[in-house]
Chain A
Amino acid sequence: MSEKTLVEGIREALDEELARDPNVFITGTDIGPRGGVFLATQGLYAKYGPRRIIDSPLAESSIIGVGIGAAMNGMRPVCEIQFADFIHPAYNQIVNEAARMFYRSGGQYCVPLVIRCPYGGGVGGGLYHSQSVEATFAHVPGLKVVIPSNPRDAKGLLKSAIRDNNPVLFLEPKKGYRAIKGEVPEGEYTEPLGVAKVTRAGDDITVYAYGMMHFYCVQAADQVAEEGISVELVDLRTLNPLDKATVLQSFKKTGKALIVYEDNRFVGFGAEIAALLCEEAFEHMDAPIMRLAGPDVPAVPYSRPLQDWFMPDVQRIVEAMRKLAAY
């Protein structure tokens, strides 16, 4: 084991999969000699060359469309969209094409495609370098949506995503690329898609989170533990398909749920968790289900105090945990 950053976990997964499978290739803008704007692909161009590390034209719809075509011809493309905010020109290819291909061809064609994409705010990125897009895409059947919260999972989940026979949107918490560090096992391992993880056992309340917000929830849970509040923390890891069993199991133990996400609150991922708990564990409910999320304004504003107003943080999570525990 050695301590790595989240972005190092990503890079190792890419490197190992490129080495393991000649059908894996990477495309996207600036992923070549530049190594990606966040350096996730640093060194890979030098190692694997321009036939496998392909700097694309600046055209997101084609980055995905070309990826779909290559996937249907036997490759395993890993397509990088530079920021989640710039995935929207590719919406048609992702939603109408990649996600529907297997179904519409009656299983004759599948699309083993990974779309890597940094997401999230709190980085001074303003309206278009801060967005969280998971709710939009988790809504789409046929598309897997994965969000790692730590280096170990980042590596293990990305390797699984590359080996999966379906399109996977792999959302990476950009604020955590270097801020989140952790142990990464040496040698080959994978983490399964579609499996959530209880990252902290507790009795009083269940907190559901993923990505950067999970990182903050760990710190918040430590804080409230000193006040005697025992938090069970569930890292969802895969939003679609959702690991309902793990979600329900924890709730049945605590009866109190808080969902934390930085995406806009309205019709956000928290609503899906809340609906699931109401539908399938109503008799276990001890408190109104709580959501702590980004507000319903178009996107994260740039100016520092405005950004701070938007972003959920450890302090706000602590307050929400206290409130729920006290109910």
Chain B
Amino acid sequence: MLKLDTAGAKDHNSHAQEHPGQATAHSAPTPDCLVEMYEVMVRSRRLDERCWLLHRQGRIGFHISGIGHEAAQVGVAFAMQRGHDFLHPYYRDLAMVIALGMPMRAILLGSFGKQGDPSSGGRQMPNHYCYKPASIFSVSSPVGTQLPQAAGLALAEKLKGGNRVTVTCIGEGATSEGDFHEALDWAGVHRLPLVVVVENNEYAISVPMHLQMAVERVADRAAAYGIRGVSVDGLDVFASYAAAKEAIDLARAGAGTTLLEVRVARITPHSSDDNDATYRSPEEKARVRAQDPLPRFQKQLVEMGLLTPAMIAEIERRAQAEVDDALRYAENAPYPPVEWAMGPVFAD
């Protein structure tokens, strides 16, 4: 029977007790940890940029980007017990899945729809991540569907007496979906070990925040469900990490769910199918580009004396080499056999 073969996927729905070699999050990131966070951001950015280029060259069919969201994603990911805690992500979470250990080769296999793509074996569109070895659940396209499922993951963890926290991510636009409301209702009633991260980039494709909701902050919505609502500058790694760490610690301690809004910037069009010039002025786009979290974090680390020009260059070199390697690997990989389209449709 054809089946994706990823480590730890031996039985459906079983989850390894501990993920090998995982760092436990510290209450404040150590210097080493901060440099690693920076490196993840650089790796994510270089891969993301390459995907845009590959799309323009007609070598991949689609790309949807996390550029401008990386600081928040890295902050949240490093506050998790990476690999142990669950992540039910959405399509923008490239830096997040890299931080949790998804290899670049795996990600690019998905971009090319090639055999061995561990997310879906080429069945799903690019950026629909799934990586069981790192406890990453399968991204769907219909927005918001991950939220009730994440509540269910957290509910089961509570019923089983486990100590995993579930982190799930969503855009601010998708918080208008009924699934968001219903999930948070469960989260409040059952004080679930859950962190709902809303990556607020102020747009849902072309629809601006003020046509999406009449409250100023997504986090304001938390009050209706009896859960914590926190809004932070998601362009800042430190703020994102601190807020996520507190939310995850509280969830693990039995204090329930946090709705964590990270205010980020969508520096690119919505996706490779979008033309954002139809709804954003050049001035606005320039303003958003100027918010880029990557140079900001670099500057912070340089000022703290944690990054030197030599280290920056070395990190760049490694990231480019990793992207080049992954690209060669994925482009040369075969397509899946057509049998892979046929099924199996039912589990045995």
A141 at the interface (CB under 8 A from B): no
In contact, B336 and A306 (Cβ under 8 angstroms): yes
Task: Indicate the member of B61, B123, B174, B213 with the most A CB atoms within 10 Å.
Answer: B123
Inter-chain contacts of B338 with A (CB < 8 A): 305-306, 309
In contact, B278 and A58 (Cβ under 8 angstroms): no
Inter-chain contacts of A33 with B (CB < 8 A): 206, 278-279
B343 at the interface (CB under 8 A from A): yes
A35 at the interface (CB under 8 A from B): yes
Inter-chain contacts of B142 with A (CB < 8 A): 85-86, 88-89, 128
With A57-B176, A304-B335, A305-B338 in contact, is A297–B124 under 8 Å at CB?
no
| Cα-based distance from A116 to B42 in the complex (angstroms) | 42
Binding site secondary structure of chain A: loop
Among the listed stretches A119-127, A146-154, A161-169, A314-322, which one makes contact with chain B, having 4 or more residues with CB under 8 Å of it? A119-127
9 A-B pairs closest in CB distance: A303-B122, A128-B141, A303-B113, A34-B206, A57-B176, A126-B125, A306-B341, A58-B173, A301-B123
CB nearest neighbor in A for B205: A30
- 23 contacts across the A-B interface (CB closer than 8 A): A29-B207, A30-B205, A30-B206, A34-B278, A37-B273, A55-B211, A56-B207, A56-B211, A57-B173, A57-B211, A57-B212, A57-B213, A58-B143, A58-B212, A59-B176, A89-B142, A89-B179, A124-B62, A126-B123, A126-B124, A302-B113, A302-B125, A306-B335
| Cα-based distance from A53 to B286 in the complex (angstroms) | 28
Task: Indicate the member of A57, A58, A85 with the most B CB atoms within 10 Å.
Answer: A58
In contact, B141 and A127 (Cβ under 8 angstroms): yes
In contact, B61 and A124 (Cβ under 8 angstroms): yes
CB nearest neighbor in B for A86: B142
A310 at the interface (CB under 8 A from B): yes
B140 at the interface (CB under 8 A from A): yes
Inter-chain contacts of B206 with A (CB < 8 A): 30, 32-34, 55
B272-297 CB mask vs A (1 if < 8 Å, else 0) is 01100011000000000000000000
B340 at the interface (CB under 8 A from A): yes
B232 at the interface (CB under 8 A from A): no
B25 at the interface (CB under 8 A from A): no
The chain B residues found within 8 Å of chain A, CB to CB, are 61-62, 113-114, 120-126, 128, 140-143, 173-174, 176-179, 204-207, 211-213, 273-274, 278-279, 335-336, 338, 340-343, 345
A228 at the interface (CB under 8 A from B): no
Binding site secondary structure of chain B: loop
CB nearest neighbor in B for A299: B123
A121 to chain B, nearest CB (A): 12
| Cα-based distance from A310 to B345 in the complex (angstroms) | 14
Inter-chain contacts of A297 with B (CB < 8 A): 341-343, 345
In contact, B113 and A61 (Cβ under 8 angstroms): no
Contact pick for A129, options B114, B125, B340, B345, CB 8 Å:
B125
In contact, B125 and A295 (Cβ under 8 angstroms): no
Known: A30-B205, A305-B335. 13 other contacts (CB 8 A): A34-B278, A57-B176, A57-B211, A58-B177, A58-B212, A124-B61, A126-B125, A127-B123, A128-B141, A301-B124, A302-B126, A304-B113, A304-B335
